[in-house]
A and B are shown apart, each in its own frame.
Chain A
Amino acid sequence: MKLLLGDEAIALGAVHAGISGVYAYPGTPSTEITEYIQNHAPEVRSRWCVNEKTAMETALGMSYAGKRSLVCMKHVGMNVAADAFVNSAITGVNGGLVVLAADDPSMHSSQNEQDSRFYGKFAMIPIFEPSSQQEAYDMMAHAFELSESLKLPVLMRVVTRLAHSRAEIVVRESQSQKALCPDNDRNHWVLLPAIARRQYAALVEKQTLLLEHAEKSLYNSSELSGKKSQLGVLACGIAYNYVMENDPQALGVSVLKVSQYPLPEQTIKNFAAQCETLLIAEDGQPMVEEQVKALLGADYPVIGRLTGDLPRTGELTPDSVGAALGVVGEPSYDNAQYVVPRPPALCQGCGHRDVYDALNAVAAEYADARIFGDIGCYTLGALPPFRAIDSCVDMGASITMAKGAADAGVHPAIAVIGDSTFTHSGMTGLLDAVNDKSRITVILSDNLTTAMTGGQDSAGTNKFEAICLGLGVEPEHVRVVVPLPKNMEEITRIIREEIEYEGVSVIIPRRECMQTLKRKLKQNKNK
């Protein structure tokens, strides 16, 4: 018995299932999976990847070679990995391959709340959606077995509340890693159109088998209240807990738990026949609700997020699910009067602060200055006291949006991007800008780590000048500064000079993250 974070339970489940590699780029709420494996399973390959696409492809390579591999990412990482992900369902797998997507409904640390189950359906592969930390642990071994028996990757989808919540986990015996056994069948792996058509047809044919697995799955189970229920609930993944918290038995409500997809259609039809109305409780987007409506026909009342019985957006809670079940909540205190929001902020002493002070000073001299931000701690530059950035969209978008705006005539067009985000998705856009001799100024704010997610290694550390020069930025327009208040005059002068340059400049303010620095000092003290 161990007290583990959901992410740790997933990690341990994968290690005990005999994985040989875990591939990932850090992203809340998925980061702790890879960290746990790095700290507890030295026998597993686990260096951080540059981005989710390289992670997905590397895992597929390990699978090709016959070994089990895990890929982990946050939901928006699925967008980056999507090309490799969807095509891995066409090639199929050799060693078991599980893709773990950690969704973030309510956007605790994200820019959207997209539901990764759509990706699983899109790629036509099995999806597991655990309801608890124990189930997440248990499912991992099952997911690898299913992946190998179906010769398909398997998607496991979790949400923040499962990933970042601790529970006691009963662990089982560990399996050994698979032997090296590369796949010799090129007809699976070389996706020329003629081969891809055959493979795709085979994937479509396999869907019946996937459905059979879901109908028989131990993770899909119903608790009927006996006689016909007025209300039945189809509870997906973690929503099952919120339903159970409201004691459905006492309410005379029947429950069908669904944690393995594709949707078990016959099971749902049988269950619906025992109920008069079906409530769909699912965290994320109303994917199942839409499918069940189609499955049961227009005359059968299906309620959920689309009908307003549950909130259309945001994560479910025991309260919102309780309300949909007709439970009257406990009387409670009103909101306190003297409470104000306390938003996160850049750490005191953080180098990004000096970068924004300098940028704000210079930008104030230009009526039309626009600063395109990116994803990381420095996105907090949008908040007071800085209010410095005009956009933040996706990993790497600062450089490419600045280029597009400059193409349209915006000047100065400034991009602010962190070191890890730059290697994740900024480098390619910089090459576009160089090739087009775009008039942009890129601030590559280098704190030598992936800070936002807790200080993981940054792929490009010590290589940034070389990368920029290699991509063709002119040597006299790659400028390195140390972001400290005492250097403000030098930094603002350099920014001004580079804004006036009619081409691509990269200014690299470089100073170590305060958090990683503190941690190092503490470790040295304890030595």
Chain B
Amino acid sequence: MKKDIILAGVGGQGILTIATIIGDAATEAGLHLKQAEVHGMSQRGGDVQSNLRLSTSPVYSDLIRQGAADLIISMEPMEALRYLPYLNGEGWIVSSSHPFKNIPNYPDEAALSGEMSSLPHVATLPIEDVAKEHSLPKSANMVLLGLAARYLDILTPSQLRESIARVFASKGEKVVADNLKAFDLGLNAV
């Protein structure tokens, strides 16, 4: 069994935290994994992505093949679509529905959302709004992870919750509780 995941977003949105948590859960579960990240220049507000590969057998390539990703998890809708050629026919896009506009030529929102909903397997959520409504403005990425947890299969929501607790432990109980709450909001969103 394998799960090839592309994590996408804009530099500074917190995709590496999502990667860290999935990575921790996978290690704890004894899965093989590779996780290619983008460091350096792109982190300055440019597009960033991470290739995360989980498998019950050894993983060779750090990069995912085109048409092979099972899941695109994105903090931003246009960034989700950027990696569309990597998604397999049965694969899912799990994305924030809220555009992040830091460029002058951001595409028309209606057209973008139309293209997104024309795809067969898409789950979107206004994660920033959900997080803010529950006074968890810094935990939008955990709302997204919660939503993605429904499609991860290779890891259970409880394994991910344990990792959230481990990864945020050094920041205190409140931070752990907030992030778990945000995760559950995504997991149980209607």
Contact = CB atoms under 8 A, between A and B. Distances in A.
A377 B84 CA distance: 30
Given A109-B41, A331-B89, A340 B106 contact: yes
Given A344-B42, A380-B44, A168 B27 contact: yes
B35 interface: yes
Given A244-B60, A245-B65, A344-B11, A29 B105 contact: no
> Size range of the interface on A?
35 or more
Contacts of A29: 39-40
B87 A338 contact: no
A3 interface: yes
Nearest to A385: B104
A224 B63 CA distance: 26
Interface in A214-256: 238, 240-242, 244-245
A454 B12 CA distance: 13
A431 interface: no
Interface in B74-108: 78-79, 81-82, 84-89, 102-108
B178 interface: no
A333 B38 contact: no
B1 interface: no
B95 to A, nearest CB: 12
Contact of A165 (B27, B37, B102): B37
Contact of A162 (B10, B43, B62, B107): B62
Nearest to A2: B27
B135 interface: no
Contacts of B11: 344
A499 to B, nearest CB: 29
Contact of A241 (B62, B66, B67): B62
A109 B11 CA distance: 14
Given A340-B103, A342-B102, A345-B45, A245 B60 contact: yes
Contacts of B102: 342, 345
Given A242-B61, A332-B86, A339 B81 contact: yes
A345 B115 contact: no
A521 to B, nearest CB: 15
A3 B84 contact: no
Kindly name the residue among A245, A345, A347 whose own CB sees the greatest number of chain B CB atoms within 10 A. A245
B85 A108 contact: no
B73 to A, nearest CB: 16
Nearest to A131: B60
B112 interface: yes
Contact of B67 (A167, A332, A347): A332
A3 B59 CA distance: 14
Contact of B36 (A109, A165, A331, A333): A165
Contacts of B47: 341-342
A339 B37 contact: no
A337 B33 contact: no
A503 B86 CA distance: 56
Interface string A198-217: 00000000000000000000
A397 B45 CA distance: 26
Given A168-B32, A338-B107, A343 B39 contact: no
A330 B112 contact: no
Interface of A: 1, 3, 5, 28-29, 31-32, 108-109, 161-162, 164-168, 238, 240-242, 244-245, 317-319, 322, 329-347, 377, 380, 384, 452-454, 526
Given A108-B42, A166-B36, A318-B64, 19 more contacts: A109-B42, A164-B36, A164-B38, A165-B36, A166-B33, A166-B35, A240-B60, A241-B61, A242-B61, A244-B61, A333-B84, A333-B87, A336-B84, A338-B115, A340-B103, A342-B46, A342-B79, A344-B44, A346-B44
30 contacts: A28-B40, A108-B38, A109-B39, A109-B41, A109-B42, A164-B36, A165-B35, A167-B59, A168-B27, A241-B61, A242-B63, A245-B65, A318-B65, A319-B65, A329-B67, A330-B65, A330-B66, A333-B85, A335-B84, A336-B81, A336-B82, A337-B111, A338-B78, A339-B78, A339-B82, A340-B78, A341-B103, A342-B10, A344-B41, A452-B40
Interface of B: 10-11, 23-24, 27, 32-47, 51, 59-68, 78-79, 81-82, 84-89, 102-108, 111-112, 115, 119, 171
